[in-house]
């Protein structure tokens, strides 16, 4: 069965520190990969996505992620975090199956706290 793991449950950083959140998935075929973010009191929204092509994808607010197929990883990075990046981050994987349903599996989430 497909699964998604995230390396850290809770990360605490100071402003301007660099961020890397790990994500690994278990699925041997073609996948689409996503990072979603949930800011306090707000709904889940897409941060970035990988479907094909350049494995380094850029998202909103200076975030980027790199798809490494050989490692089944899709780590999220940001060179310099801000207090406003405090949120919960979810990695997700979708394996297109050619059927009428696209199943999206989420990781357990990483809570990021940025200290001013």
Partner 1 sequence: SQTIHQWPATLVQPVGSPLSLECTVEGTSNPNLYWYRQAAGRGLQLLFYSVGIGQISSEVPQNLSASRPQDRQFILSSKKLLLSDSGFYLCAWSHHPGTSVTGELFFGEGSRLTVL
Q: Tell me which residues touch partner 1 (CB under 8 A).
A: 4, 9, 32, 34, 36, 43-46, 49, 51, 90, 92, 94, 96, 98-109
In the bound complex, what is the minimum distance in angstroms from residue 12's beta carbon to partner 1?
16
Q: Which is nearer to partner 1, 52 or 70 (CB)?
A: 52
Count CB-CB contacts under 10 A for residue 112.
Answer: 21
Q: Smallest gap, in angstroms, from Cβ of residue 15 to partner 1?
A: 25
């Amino acid at each position: 069965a497909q699964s998604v793991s995230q390396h850290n449950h809770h990360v605490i950083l100071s402003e301007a520190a660099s961020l890397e959140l790990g994500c690994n998935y278990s699925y041997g075929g073609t996948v689409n990969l996503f990072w979603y973010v949930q800011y306090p009191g707000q709904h889940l929204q897409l941060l970035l996505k990988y479907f094909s092509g350049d494995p380094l994808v850029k998202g909103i607010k200076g975030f980027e992620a790199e798809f490494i197929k050989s490692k089944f990883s899709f780590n999220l990075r940001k060179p310099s975090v801000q207090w406003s990046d405090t949120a919960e981050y979810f990695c997700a994987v979708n394996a297109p199956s050619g059927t009428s349903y696209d199943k999206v599996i989420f990781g357990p989430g990483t809570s990021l706290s940025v200290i001013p």
